[in-house]
Amino acid sequence: MAEDKPSNGSGAPPGGGPLRPTVMKAPAARERVRPAETPPAAAIAAPASAGPTTVRGTRRERVTVTPRELAALAPEATPATCAGAARLLAGTVVETLTERKAVLWGHDLQKAYGDLMTGTLALAQDPLAEQARAHVDRMTQILAAVDLMAVCGHGKGGLLAHVARAMSDRIDTPAELGQALGELQLLVQRLGAATDGLAGLADRLQRHAGAVARLEAEVDAAALAALWLARHAEGEALAHRFTDRAMSLSATVAQMRQGDSLHRLQLQQPLDLIGVIQNVALVSLPGFLTGLAALLALATSRGASPTEARDMSWRLRDLLTQLKT
């Protein structure tokens, strides 16, 4: 190991030579490494499969059947029924049909039919109509009992006939006619006050009748559509279910048509009553009551002639015919 040489304390190098500054070379400039430029996203080529991703499978097809084809299946069906069944089938996908869907096919329509029949009875028995009917019946009863010839003193028979008339329910004296006239005027007022309510009831009755007719057409179309599905369903069980539904819906249509006359009568009776009230009780009757009051005034004063009494009797008969029609 070499021995360390002592320093001379002056900082001079050994050997006594003059001091020289040490010159150090600058390090070589390092080249800055630039990161590789990333091309813009727009420059990246799109993959060849940039289109929408698709999953292979079976495409669900909706039923395509024309009204003419349905008419060939059911020649007795109307064009409207065939068109309705075609629209119903157009929204049906055969592949999604199950036995549960088959069992419930048209069930809502049958339930709606039951609700409509309940509504028919409720409308036919509306309290407003019942009250108006009672007023018209009482009005008819009073007018039918009036004997104007006897009131004016031109009745037939002697004392015995007079006694018999007094014991009957006929209105054949001026006093009785005066009481009847007051009650008839009260009935006209009561019916006049119910006019707005009766008009609203008439509108409800007409809308209800239209709803029944539309429902019948829908049930008929559903029955035909079920028959077509029974012929084209996949599987015997499914076809059997649709056959049952076609038969059940057809039976409902038959029941609706069988009860059409009764249902129309139930709806028509209140409408007829409202017509009588509006056209007779509130139009013809007030004028007749005015003439009746004038005849009563004549009968209690100077007396009414047979001709005057007979003319009013003919008007009374015509009015009763209108009320009973």
Q: For residue 313, give the nearest of 297, 298, 280, 291 by alpha carbon.
A: 291
Among 137, 150, 237, 146, which residue's Cα sits nearest to residue 191? 137
Q: Where are the alpha helices (DSSP H) in 125-235?
A: 127-145, 148-151, 159-167, 174-193, 195-232
Residues 6+ apart with CB under 8 A from 122: none
**202 three-state secondary structure:** helix
User: What per-residue confidence (pLDDT) applies to 268?
Assistant: 80
pLDDT in tens, 105-163: 999 999 999 999 898 888 888 899 899 999 999 999 999 999 999 999 887 644 444 54
Q: Which residues pair with 146 in a beta bridge?
A: 171
Which pLDDT does position 259 carry in this prediction?
Answer: 79
Residue 62 pairs in a beta bridge with: 93
What pLDDT score was predicted for residue 143? 95
Give the integer Cα–Cα distance in Å for 265 and 268.
5
What pLDDT score was predicted for residue 174? Answer: 93
Would you give the distance in Å from CA 165 to the centre of its chain?
A: 56
State residue 217's pLDDT score: 95
Q: What is the pLDDT of residue 48?
A: 45
Q: How far is residue 169's CA from residue 172's CA, in Å, rounded to a whole number?
A: 9
Distances (CA, A) of 286 to 138, 186, 279, 291, 294: 16, 11, 11, 9, 13
151 neighbors 143 (Cβ within 8 angstroms)? no
Mean pLDDT of each 10-residue bin along the chain, 325 residues long: 46 50 50 48 43 48 85 94 95 87 95 92 87 94 94 65 55 94 95 88 88 94 96 90 96 88 78 87 92 92 90 94 85
DSSP character at residue 111: H
Of the candidates 129, 174, 148, the residue with the CA atom closest to the CA atom of residue 275: 129
**DSSP line for 98-129:** -HHHHHTTTHHHHHHHHHHHHHHHHHHT-HHH
Give the tens place of pLDDT for each residue, 68-107. Answer: 999 999 999 999 999 999 999 998 887 888 999 999 999 9
Specify the 3-state DSSP secondary structure of 240: helix
